[in-house]
Amino acid sequence: MGETRNYSEENVLLVGCKLTDADEERFSYSMQELAELTKTAGGKVVNTIVQNRHSFDRATYIGKGKLDEMIPLIDEEEIDVVIFNDELSSSQVRNLSAKVTARIIDRTQLILDIFSKRAKSREGKLQVELAQLNYLLPRLAGQGHALSRLGGGIGTRGPGETQLETDRRHIRRRMDEIKEQLKAIVKHRALYRERRKENRTLQIALVGYTNAGKSTIHNRLTVADALEENLLFATLDPLTRRIKLPSGFQALLTDTVGFIQDLPTTLVAAFRSTLEEVCEADFLLHVVDASSNDYYNHEETVMELLGQLNVKDVPMLTVYNKKDKMTNHFVPTDGKNSMLISALQEEDLKKLIARIEEEIKSTLSYFSVKIPANNGKLLSRCQSGAIIEEQKWIEDEECYALKVYVSPTSSLFKQLQQYKV
């Protein structure tokens, strides 16, 4: 093996093919996003090639003319990696690799690579590996040369570094092992969720397009230490922290992995258990980057993926973030169930947390109770497990009169029934 090369920043050539029936603006944003993904993976975009075609070339994705134009460019600009904006077939990878010296990867492989770099928990790492093996299995025939290169670089992390002799049987065996391990983790997570349901802690989940600012909002509201970076997929592993609303009511706030257009199906499947936190939520905060020109498509992508996860009828507030950077063209898609904030402004966060409490109230049951002074334990439970609108001490009855909002499915709701007035 030769000397180890530093792959901290590789020269990258981006290649996109716009089909005649594709929307021009959407394609343009897709290429911009590919450049952002490349930056996140540690690459430096040196040049971009775009071709307009009626359909992708079955052999090489782009046509012969564009390919002939690309080959000298790779040598001239010392390109290390060529990244294609669509998923390539094994034959396309094989044919392209035979003609160019640079490493060939596609959009899916790039996203998998970022996930491999970002995953921190055992579950996250296993899910990434499963997704990578799912991607790799049908492409073994086309990736022989690439798999023989050990070391590093964009698109070669994790299972992508396996030796040439890796065969389908070995991969399938490893996939079965991972699935078994994930089953155990999912079972443990389900038991933990059941315990939370018994205690009936209200669940709030942050969802949204990648890099919309979910982790920043999560950190500011819960004083957590999740990674905050202006990079795509900065958060992969779900992080849950307790959040205290203005009334003293406590809920759980979960940060989730960012969504993205054309998310590989292997990743949606592999990360289903991570996204189960979204499926179990009582309330969703949909964070949208108001500074992005493509914010509307970002919203659409998130809603489509929530549909795929069968997340329906869950109350949701849309939070348009980064108002300090938004463009003049920005218009909220949903003016009624939304608010515009900057997660970096304390005043906006206070307004957000107050709005969350108001929205949650509408999902709870409201009634009045009188709790005897000697039942301090129940009073304490109300202060943390219910939204108290009013609390008075009644001297002659030696009790506390409360007007509260409580979840009808909680054990606290049943306890308060006997004190209802």
Is 362 labelled a binding residue? no
Is 419 labelled a binding residue? no
Spatial CA neighbour of 215 closest among 125, 344, 313: 344
Spatial CA neighbour of 236 closest among 350, 114, 346: 114
Is 274 labelled a binding residue? no
The whole-angstrom separation of Cα 348 and Cα 218 is: 14
Q: Residues 126, 168: contact at Cβ < 8 Å? A: no
Is 102 labelled a binding residue? no
Is 411 labelled a binding residue? no
Is 319 labelled a binding residue? no
Is 227 labelled a binding residue? no
Kind and range of the H or E element at 182? helix 168-199
Is 219 labelled a binding residue? no
The whole-angstrom separation of Cα 232 and Cα 212 is: 9
The whole-angstrom separation of Cα 340 and Cα 327 is: 13
Is 234 labelled a binding residue? yes
Is 81 labelled a binding residue? no
Is 133 labelled a binding residue? no
Pair of tokens at residue 89? 């077939």
How many of the other CB atoms lie within 10 Å of CB of 37? 24
Is 368 labelled a binding residue? no
Interstrand relation of 316-321 and 338-340 (parallel, antiparallel or unpaired): parallel
Is 223 labelled a binding residue? no
The whole-angstrom separation of Cα 77 and Cα 383 is: 65
Is 292 labelled a binding residue? no
Is 350 labelled a binding residue? no
The whole-angstrom separation of Cα 420 and Cα 402 is: 10
**Exposure class string for 225-241: b at 16+ Cβ within 10 A, else e:** ebebeebbbbbbbbbbb
Integer CA distances (angstroms), 28 to 17, 75, 93, 292, 304, in order = 11, 26, 24, 13, 21
Is 134 labelled a binding residue? no
Place of tokens 């950077």: 325
Is 313 labelled a binding residue? no
Is 167 labelled a binding residue? no
Is 211 labelled a binding residue? yes
Burial class (CB in 10 A: 0-12, 13-18, 19+), 331: exposed
Is 235 labelled a binding residue? yes
Interstrand relation of 338-340 and 239-244 (parallel, antiparallel or unpaired): unpaired
Is 256 labelled a binding residue? yes
Is 322 labelled a binding residue? yes
Alpha helices in 60-121 (DSSP H): 64-76, 90-99, 107-118
- Residue numbers in the known binding site for GTP are 208-215, 233-237, 255-258, 321-324, 342-344
- Annotated binding-site residues read 208-215, 233-237, 255-258, 321-324, 342-344
Binding annotation for Mg(2+): 215, 235
